[in-house]
Structure 1
């Protein structure tokens, strides 16, 4: 039990302290390099905001993960932890390149493919799993890096997502005695929690930028692939991601069906449309991640249930996801009714 507490507390403490302090060192650099996000018609912010603080948070999480490995908190499956950490760092470096100078979309996709392939092939070799899972792992890494980037559009949403998913993954690691997942989840959760004060201060906030959203997506995807290939229940892996996946998937589908250029910047995600009908940034972010946490709890609690009970829990999860997706339409109708 004491070892379990140390395995969670050490990476959490390191990530928390560094997550709070490193932004003080990085923010002057953002000013010097003039990394400013100017508002456009598709933006959710209305004033220029410095981006790129994800560099500090990515470093905080990566350092916490690395120090935990050096301290011997992970004695089994260290190779998995190293591969997952390398994939997250590579994803964050790609995002920083996009923040700093810009990276052509083809080059971005190529690097994401290489990261996904290297991580999945490395995990396959270490774990001795079937090579037929490699394409799925590559797609998962590419997809979730972009999902987190698409969903990083209002203040607080990515910080809360990192905290929520990291917490669920740390619990999954604890429940299955998978220490690399405990360490990675704890570092991710507290590191991104530490970013929130920098992101939601009115008039003084900064953005993660692509460095932070790419690192977040890469870390989550690499941990998810590693957990899946390690035999951890898919319910642990997917449940905290379902709201993000549903929002992104339905938004892209709508845009394709309307004949829009789906890859262009836009403001048609469900979480963005909520802010059009009265939700603040923080309220939208809390709803997305609060529902994600509820979905995760229901799914995990239902694991030992009999088939009929499990199906009932699944139905509740589908209802919650459906409610989230239709909420902007309900708010729009209410606004029109009272106009």
Structure 2
């Protein structure tokens, strides 16, 4: 394992993500790339968006450095494919930030990027997985949109990139797949560097360029790892909470006859803020559940069929508990307020 290069790539992503906003923030302000608050927003004043371009630049730079690591030609080609896919997806997001795109156009772009990336990765895997191209296209397109749907409060996307990136880096170490360690570490470091900017007194937002980057980088890395033979438990468990929140909310809205593609505040993480948690507290709830399912994925692989069954049951319980957290915290906050009111009297 080229640990020196792993450290170098992670440090490059982290430092670039921390420092590049110093240059990009004034530029975005001059271009008036702003997120205007609405009744569906979790913020109350115009806020700079599009700062995901700094995370994108950091991740691209770090992956470029990784191409000089002592890896095989195939592993370098996989990293290059991941780089191109996340760059293409982020470009779609940047256009969306600047001028907007029709829903159908966005969907077709996401599917095209996912299909092309999966086909190349299947070829690099020896051409044995071309039939996975449609599934890979849907997976990439779906997770880009999941990440976009879930990017609604400060801290949530940065923490998600950090946790899932680390989970994939650990999966790479456990399976001795060096490129996966590097890719996971770069994703984790890139989004960790954005957190201080997003959680500051005057926060900035990733924008679509950043949420598309988050979804595409995680999804295409998972597709590449799957084609390389990494156990699916390692890949699916870290994204389970995001998928559950996004798809359960989607199904509820469709069943209610609502326009599912219109912005709203019905996700579990959004309802946590509505009932009284801060953005960081709500993001911490989501992140804690994600850490739990990630650990259960590792447990499942390490303990065979019995471990898989136990982990599956526990993951279901974690998901159900997470989806109930808005109701749970609402009751706790009401009880606390009642006690405080009683003491005041």
- After TM superposition, the score normalised by the length of structure 1 is 0.95
Query: Residues of 1 paired with 2:107 and 2:282: CA distance?
Result: 29
Q: Paired residue for 1:47?
A: 45
1:63-102 to structure 2, matched below 5 A, reads 63-73=61-71, 75-102=73-100
Of 20, 24, 27 in structure 1, the residue corresponding to residue 25 of structure 2 is 27
Of 250, 253, 256 in structure 1, the residue corresponding to residue 251 of structure 2 is 253
Q: Paired residue for 1:230?
A: 228
Q: Contact 2:90 / 2:212 at 8 angstroms: preserved in 1?
A: yes
Query: Residues of 1 paired with 2:277 and 2:72: CA distance?
Result: 42
Q: Paired residue for 2:302?
A: 304
SS at match of 1:303: helix
Q: Paired residue for 1:211?
A: 209
Q: In structure 2, list runs of 5 or more residues that go unmatched.
A: 339-345
Query: Residues of 1 paired with 2:187 and 2:304: CA distance?
Result: 33
Q: Paired residue for 1:155?
A: 154
Query: Residues of 2 paired with 1:306 and 1:232: CA distance?
Result: 15
Query: Residues of 2 paired with 1:286 and 1:336: CA distance?
Result: 20
SS at match of 1:46: coil
1:319-330 to structure 2, matched below 5 A, reads 319-330=317-328
Cα distance change of structure 1 residues 302 and 130 upon mapping to structure 2, 3 Å threshold: closer
Q: Paired residue for 1:145?
A: 144
Q: Contact 1:74 / 1:180 at 8 angstroms: preserved in 2?
A: no
Q: Contact 2:5 / 2:69 at 8 angstroms: preserved in 1?
A: no
Q: Name whichever of 146-155 and 93-102 sits farther off.
A: 93-102
Q: Contact 1:156 / 1:282 at 8 angstroms: preserved in 2?
A: yes
Q: Render the CA deviation track for 1:145-195: whole Å, top value 9, x for unaligned.
A: 000000000000000011011101111111112111111111110110010
Q: Paired residue for 1:116?
A: 114
Query: Residues of 2 paired with 1:221 and 1:113: CA distance?
Result: 12
Q: In structure 1, list runs of 5 or more residues that go unmatched.
A: none
Q: Paired residue for 1:191?
A: 190
1:241-320 to structure 2, matched below 5 A, reads 241-320=239-318
Q: Contact 1:173 / 1:179 at 8 angstroms: preserved in 2?
A: yes
Q: Contact 1:68 / 1:74 at 8 angstroms: preserved in 2?
A: no
Query: Residues of 1 paired with 2:239 and 2:168: CA distance?
Result: 11
Query: Residues of 1 paired with 2:289 and 2:116: CA distance?
Result: 33
Query: Residues of 1 paired with 2:60 and 2:37: CA distance?
Result: 31
Q: How many residues align?
A: 336
Q: Paired residue for 1:331?
A: 329
Q: Contact 1:74 / 1:179 at 8 angstroms: preserved in 2?
A: no
Q: Render the CA deviation track for 1:181-224: whole Å, top value 9, x for unaligned.
A: 1111111101100100000112x110000111101111111101
Q: Paired residue for 1:173?
A: 172
Q: Render the CA deviation track for 1:246-287: whole Å, top value 9, x for unaligned.
A: 000100011011111111110000000001111110011111
- Cα drift, residue 137 of structure 1: 0.5
Query: Residues of 1 paired with 2:110 and 2:50: CA distance?
Result: 19
Cα distance change of structure 1 residues 265 and 312 upon mapping to structure 2, 3 Å threshold: same
Query: Residues of 2 paired with 1:52 and 1:222: CA distance?
Result: 22
- After TM superposition, the score normalised by the length of structure 2 is 0.93
Query: Residues of 2 paired with 1:248 and 1:9: CA distance?
Result: 33
Q: Contact 2:89 / 2:216 at 8 angstroms: preserved in 1?
A: yes
